[in-house]
Amino acid sequence: MQTSAELALCECFYSIQGESARAGLPCLFFRLAGCNLRCLWCDSTYSFTGGRPCTVAEAAAWALGHACPLVELTGGEPLLQEGAYPLIERLLAGGKEVLLETNGTLSLARVPLEVSVILDVKCPGSGMAAYFCPENLELLALRKKRGSTDEVKFVLADETDFFWALDFVRRHGLHALVPVLFSPVRPGLEPERLAELMLAHQAPARLQLQLHTLLWPGRKRGV
Ligand X SMILES: Nc1nc2[nH]cc(C(=O)O)c2c(=O)[nH]1
Of these, 74, 81, 102, 103, which contacts ligand X (CB under 6 A)? 74
187 preceded by cis ω (within 30°)?
yes
Of these, 18, 75, 86, 184, which contacts ligand SF4 (CB under 6 A)? 75
Do residues 84 and 101 lie in contact, with contact meaning Cβ atoms separated by under 8 Å?
no
Judged by beta carbon, residue 101 or residue 161, the one nearer ligand X is 101
Q: Is 47 in the site for ligand X (CB under 6 A)?
A: no
Question: Does 41 show up as a binding residue in the annotation?
Answer: yes
Q: Which does 22 bind (CB under 5 to 8 A by kind): ligand SF4, ligand X, none?
A: none
CB 110 to ligand X: min, Å: 20
Q: Is 15 in the site for ligand X (CB under 6 A)?
A: yes
Q: Which does 18 bind (CB under 5 to 8 A by kind): ligand SF4, ligand X, none?
A: ligand X
Q: How many CB atoms lie within 10 A of CB 120?
A: 24
How would you classify the pairing of strands 151-156 and 116-120? Answer: parallel
SS3 176: helix
Question: Does 18 show up as a binding residue in the annotation?
Answer: yes
Burial class of residue 1, CB neighbours in 10 A (0-12, 13-18, 19+): exposed
Q: Among candidates 5, 162, 20, 42, which has minimal Cα distance to 99?
A: 20
Q: Among candidates 89, 98, 155, which has minimal Cα distance to 123?
A: 155
Stretch that binds ligand SF4, among 3-11, 33-41, 138-146, 194-202 (CB under 6 A): 33-41
Q: Is 32 in the site for ligand SF4 (CB under 6 A)?
A: no
Which residue ranges make up the site for ligand SF4 (CB under 6 A)? 35, 37-39, 42, 44, 47, 75-77, 103
> Which residue positions form the known binding site for [4Fe-4S] cluster?
35, 39, 42
